[in-house]
Structure 1
Amino acid sequence: MVLPRFVRPKEGDGESSPNLYVANCGPAVGLSYDTIASVFSSFGGVKGVYAADESGARVIISFLESTSAHSAFKALNGQPCPSLGGRSLHICRSILQPPFSRVNDSVPVSLIASDLNIPGLYLFHDFISAKEEEELLQAVDNRPWKSLSKRRVQHYGYEFCYDTRNVDPKQYLGALPSFVSFILERVSSFPNINDPADLDLDQLTVNEYPPGVGLSPHIDTHSAFEGLIFSLSLAGPCVMEFRRYTAGSWASKTEVKVENPDSCTELSRKAIYLPPRSMLLLSGEARYAWHHYIPHHKIDKVKETAIRRGSRRVSFTFRKVRTGPCQCEFPQYCDSQG
């Protein structure tokens, strides 16, 4: 079932909306949806009461008429409501948006990498067991996290600098932690790895994504890392989109990250579902020429099914730091050659 998606409107845009966001109200505070609907229906017909998030303490009240929402807002916002146990309600306007914009509106989501037909892209389901997943999560949660604006990270081997999208090979943090040793051994079974030296992975970034937080479209800087990038998904699922742009629209930049991707000319867009415990490998064309991107969604649409992301998604991204210029076959996308 596809659930309605409500968001807070921009200033001045929500006056005609029939929907209200109500905090301190919901099953988590002992109020059933039927009770809430009954109380708010005194202001006019109620179309539905929906969970605003996973907390159970915030709801969306959807009226049939915007005038009803306006009356309820004036009467109850910031005021104790005797019919709801005397709770003070905190209310703001809310508007309805389509549940799946961007990746899900026009890009079908595949379950296996071969369906995407992107050379060098591989996805291995159940790469680790549920017990191994639990142990990995426990290991990183016992280590200090570094907070970014929307997510938390840990770096091992070499620290990744987000300002330059590069690493300083002279700033060595030490060997990768022992709790990932079994992963490094297991990736040796991956197909089409021509040089065993490519598996001498020495940099690990652990990302923790809260619900709704994704990743901007980018290609990992060619001059920073060698040709294999492994990404292990833990705890929660997501959809990853791949975009191939015309090089002329952005290749003059040394940083191969698209801040406003919709302004660029795209050759192709493809998407794949990454379940927990799966390992993604980017190599060759997939690594060097395709931007990868995680849409900022709380719900993804996969094969006509709505899949809600978990309370967190944790990724382990393994790479090998490059010590010389990149000499790949995609110079139009390469900061070393471009």
Structure 2
Amino acid sequence: MMMRDDDEEEDQLHQTAVLEQVFGHFSSDDEEEADNHHIAAVLEQVFGNSSSDEEDSDSDNKNWECIKEVKGLCILRNFLSISQQTRLLSSINSENWFTQPSINQAMRFGYQNLPNWAIKLSNSIHHSISSSSSSLFPSNLLQRKPFFDQMITNFYQPGEGICPHVDLLRFEDGIAIVSLESSCVMDFSFEEESVPVLLNPGSLVFMFGDARYVWKHEINRKPGFQSWQGQLLDQSTRTSVTLRKLCSSPST
């Protein structure tokens, strides 16, 4: 799994400190099992919802969801556990990219210029894709090296989103988006058809084929526009990491 090095102890201490702030000091004697369930519930409240909180779970056992209306659009909702989301956000914050309100995007070009955490994230995405069903993703995508060599990290305030677009043709097929913090709805559109997709915290979206080249995608986070199954979504800050591969000869 990704990002499980020496940060684990620091992450555990951070989670313990958060829990103690909310509930006061606690111990794990005879009520250890009950505490574990309680801790998991609290972490979801503090760090966001995630369908998997097992740090040692193997990504081979995670299930990709393919959006049937949009060919080439797949989402892995339990890509990052709550602990992994927390560590990834900590790594992003340590870059000090978003220290001013006017700065909400950071770009890096070239594999050698990617932060170490982004390389680990790329490797984890590649593993999650390559360990899935052999017929789910194009084999040529899995064989390219490096898998990604360009990154965009975006920081969105409540209400901020992205306009409808198709990513530039200077990038190859196969684009990954990791969502953190606030949930949101990403709308995919082609001609008169529109397909909404919920992006939960810790989810991974992978677009290839028609989803990458034909369908536009957008996020309209204006008040009143972000709802899912009839419920308005609580809009807080949102961070996303997009990873792409530059074409060897950029298209014009």
1:296 Cα deviation from its structure 2 partner: 2.9
Say which SS state the counterpart of residue 112 (structure 2) adopts.
coil
Higher RCO structure (Cα 8 Å, ≥6 apart): 2
Aligned residues with identical type, % of pairs:
26
TM (norm. structure 2) is 0.64
Question: Is the aligned partner of 1:232 residue 2:178?
Answer: yes
Counterpart mapping for 1:202-241 below 5 A: 202-222=149-169, 224-241=170-187
Write the letter of the residue equivalent to 2:248: T
Deviations along 1:114-149, one digit per CA (max 9) or x if unpaired, are 445211100101101111111111111111326898
Give unmatched runs, 5+ long, in structure 1: 1-111, 159-171, 245-265, 327-335
Deviations along 1:186-236, one digit per CA (max 9) or x if unpaired, are 2223141312106520011100000000101111111x1000100000011
Question: Is the aligned partner of 1:287 residue 2:212?
Answer: yes
Write the letter of the residue equivalent to 2:167: D
Write the letter of the residue equivalent to 2:235: R
TM (norm. structure 1) is 0.49
What residue number does 1:129 align with? Answer: 81
Say which SS state the counterpart of residue 106 (structure 2) adopts.
strand
Tell me if structure 2 keeps the 8 A contact 1:241–1:294: yes
Quickly say closer, same or farther: Cα 1:144–1:174, change in 2 above 3 A: farther
1:183 Cα deviation from its structure 2 partner: 2.0
Quickly say closer, same or farther: Cα 1:173–1:113, change in 2 above 3 A: closer
Task: Identify, as 1 or 2, the structure richer in helix.
Answer: 2
Tell me if structure 2 keeps the 8 A contact 1:214–1:293: yes
Write the letter of the residue equivalent to 2:171: F
Write the letter of the residue equivalent to 2:204: M
Counterpart mapping for 1:299-314 below 5 A: 300-310=226-236, 312-314=237-239
What residue number does 2:189 align with? Answer: 243
Say which SS state the counterpart of residue 184 (structure 1) adopts.
helix
Quickly say closer, same or farther: Cα 1:285–1:148, change in 2 above 3 A: farther
Question: Is the aligned partner of 1:118 residue 2:70?
Answer: yes
C-alpha distance in 2 between matches for 1:148 and 1:116:
40
Deviations along 1:229-251, one digit per CA (max 9) or x if unpaired, are 0000001111000111xxxxxxx
Task: Identify, as 1 or 2, the structure richer in strand.
Answer: 1
1:325 Cα deviation from its structure 2 partner: 5.0
Tell me if structure 2 keeps the 8 A contact 1:116–1:271: no
Write the letter of the residue equivalent to 2:115: P
Say which SS state the counterpart of residue 144 (structure 2) adopts.
helix
Q: Which residue, out of 111, 117, 126, partners 1:179?
A: 117
Write the letter of the residue equivalent to 1:175: N
Q: Which residue, out of 269, 272, 281, partners 2:194?
A: 269
C-alpha distance in 2 between matches for 1:296 and 1:150:
18
Deviations along 1:34-69, one digit per CA (max 9) or x if unpaired, are xxxxxxxxxxxxxxxxxxxxxxxxxxxxxxxxxxxx
Tell me if structure 2 keeps the 8 A contact 1:198–1:320: no
Let me know the Cα RMSD of the aligned residues: 2.4
Aligned residues: 179
Say which SS state the counterpart of residue 273 (structure 1) adopts.
strand
Tell me if structure 2 keeps the 8 A contact 1:232–1:317: yes
Say which SS state the counterpart of residue 75 (structure 2) adopts.
strand
C-alpha distance in 2 between matches for 1:133 and 1:125:
12
Tell me if structure 1 keeps the 8 A contact 2:67–2:74: no
Quickly say closer, same or farther: Cα 1:147–1:298, change in 2 above 3 A: farther
What residue number does 1:193 align with? Answer: 138
Quickly say closer, same or farther: Cα 1:286–1:150, change in 2 above 3 A: farther
